[in-house]
Structure 1
Amino acid sequence: MSNGVIEAADGKPTLARGLSTVGTLLPGLAVCTGATAVSVGINRVFPTVSPLLIAIVLGAVLANVMALPERLVPGLQFSAKRLLRLGVALLGLQLALGDILALGTGAIVMVVAIVVLGIAGTLFVGRMMGLTWTQRLLIACGFSICGAAAVAAADGVIDGEDEEVVTAIALVVVFGTLMIPVIPLLADLMGLSHRAAGMWAGGSIHEVAQVVAAGGAIGAGALTVAVVIKLARVLMLAPVMAVLSLLQRRRTPGSDVHRPPLMPLFVVGFLVCMAIRSTGVVPAGVLDVAHVAQTALLTASMFALGTGVHIATLRKVGMRPMVLAAVSTVWVAAIALAGVLLTA
């Protein structure tokens, strides 16, 4: 201690170091905040376009039309990792366990089958195509569980390459958006009831916002069941991430210092938030604020990830991830439709 100020091991006052760190992060965080505001504003005008997609496109465009100043990098990296994981944790506040259990055993089994078989099938096809373990796993989780949030959560465990994460998120948003008109049209052609069509939409479409758009297009009777089925898929995020963490520990050589924890902290946060929501004591106003915060955090992180997208890098990725995304979309939709026909 010097003059009443606590000093760190390197001799610098702890408070001064903290302020210095915050100052380093501020420029990048300020840019992410501005991009988030723009993305959410565009989403208000075009509700069917996810603010996450808008943000990642903005980030990619910015990164490819100009050289980003070095002072932005710390804040962008902080947003791409820390804010993203906080947003995933807050996603748990959208889930009430009672709503999931009310679906019934058949629907719950269907959801588990969609996630487990969706991931397994996508991983198998991706391996046959020669894609890396991380790339096919990111796509598998995004398409089988809950879109960009699942990609981000999986990346938090396996630590994929930035271009692989961005590619997976972009594919999730593109193919999920294409499903918005396709599922209602096919459901109508097959003569499915509104409830069955809503179950199919919730079981096959990637993002929650996309499910809302498709459910609304089908009809009011489909919207509620579509969202609940989708949130049941979101609930699968926690067990899947726990399994991935175990697998990653086995795949990672060296000491435990370099291995992911058995249960990533943001997954624990996700479960805690879900438990709090399930108690029913949280006021609706608080949940609304939390939803806005979660959307803002994920949007800011998507913009930060987008700044890591460079056209030259994407060219190296090639068409194989897009082909796998198409196969995964059809595969997950087929599993969901089979489940609906068996349970509805």
Structure 2
Amino acid sequence: MNSVLAWKPAALLRFWPGIVIAAVIALAASFISSSYGGPQLLFALFIGLAFHFLSNDPVCRPGIDFCSKGVLRTGVALLGARITLPQVASLGATTIALVVAAVLSTIGCGYLLARLLRRPLQEGILSGGAVGICGASAALAIAAVLPQTRQNERFTLLTVVGVTALSTLAMIVYPLLVHLARLDGEASGIFIGGAIHDVAQVVGAGYLISNHAGDVATIVKLTRVACLVPVVLALCVIFQTRGSSTEVDLPALLPLFLVGFVLTMLANTYGLIPPPLVELLNTVSRACLVTAIAALGVKTSLQALAQLGWRPVAMLLGETLWIAVFVFAGVLMLR
């Protein structure tokens, strides 16, 4: 509700300095990415980190907080415009089962690694969900329903950095791997779409192999994105129940951004959204996520990230290896 009220003109007058800062950082990151290549979200994060000194400014802080929460949830809600139900159904039951199993097992892997490395279990769930579903976007969506603590905020930023960097590396390495394994276009697309974290890197790696592999990889990846709703809703129920006797400020049981995600996906499925509007919604969603990442970067210092230590990095690497091996083994069994 707060994020909706924040769009009122009176609230925007109070928030505009921070909103402008985050928007300018997002535009700079977009310009660098389009002009020189590279991951847009990572650029937004790094530029935002350089302006951390503004996070304690009483004039800028309200807008920065709003971008990191309200704008973030708007971007996640609009992700549904990328998906239609027939796209998911065209993969077949076996492939869909493999994708869902990969997502769930990766979240489970994160949970176990968090216990093994003696880190908070929320960190294992967050990193496992980011690796298993859709990278930085999933990390931001899951973080929105976890207890809002400073440690969780810092870990969310580290997860965004980690999954973006690992996705970029995978975009280069995985096409070589499928070539060495002599996988056909469909099998290559299933592996690429099932193992790489972020949507942009999946598309890049898939079409680097072939057009058919790129098409299959995109649909597989969007199927993983569709898992965002049930996973985040389940986590919301879990943490709402566990936090009922605490003073932690938890979101509503059914967050509005999840409702928006489902409605947008259904509207796109039944052709209620014209193709030009679908493109516009995808652009707006991406812009919201980049702006939210920029704001989160401003709110976090490198010193605070360094205090997390090596264990969170080990979790991300372990989860990345797990989902790659799991999907690759599944693809070999389906051949």
Does TM, normalized by the shorter one, top 0.5? yes
Instruction: Report the equivalent of 1:31.
Output: 21
Q: Does 1:339 align with 2:330?
A: yes
Shift of 1:340: 1.4
Per the alignment, in what secondary structure is the counterpart of residue 159 of structure 1? coil
Q: Does 1:142 align with 2:133?
A: no
Per the alignment, in what secondary structure is the counterpart of residue 325 of structure 1? helix
Q: Distance in 2 between matches of 1:231 and 1:256?
A: 36
How many residues align? The count is 325
Q: Distance in 2 between matches of 1:182 and 1:252?
A: 42
Q: Distance in 2 between matches of 1:122 and 1:128?
A: 10
Question: 1:74-89 residue pairs with structure 2 within 5 A?
Answer: 74-89=62-77
Instruction: Report the equivalent of 1:111.
Output: 99
Q: Distance in 2 between matches of 1:256 and 1:313?
A: 24
Alignment counterpart, residue 69 of structure 1, candidates 33, 57, 82: 57
Q: Distance in 2 between matches of 1:282 and 1:132?
A: 42
Per the alignment, in what secondary structure is the counterpart of residue 250 of structure 1? helix
Instruction: Report the equivalent of 2:46.
Output: 57
Are the counterparts in 2 of residues 157 and 245 from structure 1 also a CA contact under 8 Å?
A: yes
Question: 1:296-315 residue pairs with structure 2 within 5 A?
Answer: 296-315=287-306
CA displacement 1:46-85 (0-9 Å, x = unmatched): 44x2211111111012226x77633111110000000000
Shift of 1:112: 0.7
User: Match for 2:182: what amino acid?
Assistant: G
Counting aligned pairs with the same residue, the percent is 31
Q: Distance in 2 between matches of 1:103 and 1:215?
A: 16
User: Match for 2:193: what amino acid?
Assistant: G
Instruction: Report the equivalent of 2:3.
Output: none
Are the counterparts in 2 of residues 135 and 168 from structure 1 also a CA contact under 8 Å?
A: no
Give the number of the structure whose alpha-carbon radius of gyration is greater: 1
Instruction: Report the equivalent of 2:31.
Output: 41
Per the alignment, in what secondary structure is the counterpart of residue 81 of structure 1? helix
Q: Does 1:153 align with 2:141?
A: yes
Question: 1:1-344 residue pairs with structure 2 within 5 A?
Answer: 19-47=9-37, 49-63=38-52, 69-160=57-148, 161-254=152-245, 259-344=250-335
Q: Distance in 2 between matches of 1:19 and 1:249?
A: 31
Per the alignment, in what secondary structure is the counterpart of residue 70 of structure 1? coil
Q: Distance in 1 between matches of 2:197 and 2:171?
A: 10
Q: Distance in 2 between matches of 1:255 and 1:71?
A: 31
Are the counterparts in 2 of residues 202 and 211 from structure 1 also a CA contact under 8 Å?
A: yes
Q: Distance in 1 between matches of 2:86 and 2:247?
A: 37
Are the counterparts in 2 of residues 141 and 154 from structure 1 also a CA contact under 8 Å?
A: yes
Q: Distance in 1 between matches of 2:255 and 2:287?
A: 22
User: Match for 1:326: what amino acid?
Assistant: L
Deviates more, 1:231-240 or 1:305-314: 305-314
Are the counterparts in 1 of residues 191 and 328 from structure 2 also a CA contact under 8 Å?
A: yes
CA displacement 1:150-193 (0-9 Å, x = unmatched): 11111111134221111111111111111111110111111111
Are the counterparts in 2 of residues 134 and 164 from structure 1 also a CA contact under 8 Å?
A: no
Q: Distance in 2 between matches of 1:246 and 1:73?
A: 30
Name stretches of at least 5 consecutive residues in structure 2 with no aligned partner.
1-7
Are the counterparts in 2 of residues 211 and 226 from structure 1 also a CA contact under 8 Å?
A: yes
Are the counterparts in 1 of residues 107 and 124 from structure 2 also a CA contact under 8 Å?
A: no
Shift of 1:39: 1.3
Per the alignment, in what secondary structure is the counterpart of residue 201 of structure 1? helix
CA displacement 1:230-260 (0-9 Å, x = unmatched): 0000000011011111211221132899554
Q: Distance in 1 between matches of 2:11 and 2:282?
A: 28
Q: Distance in 2 between matches of 1:202 and 1:284?
A: 23
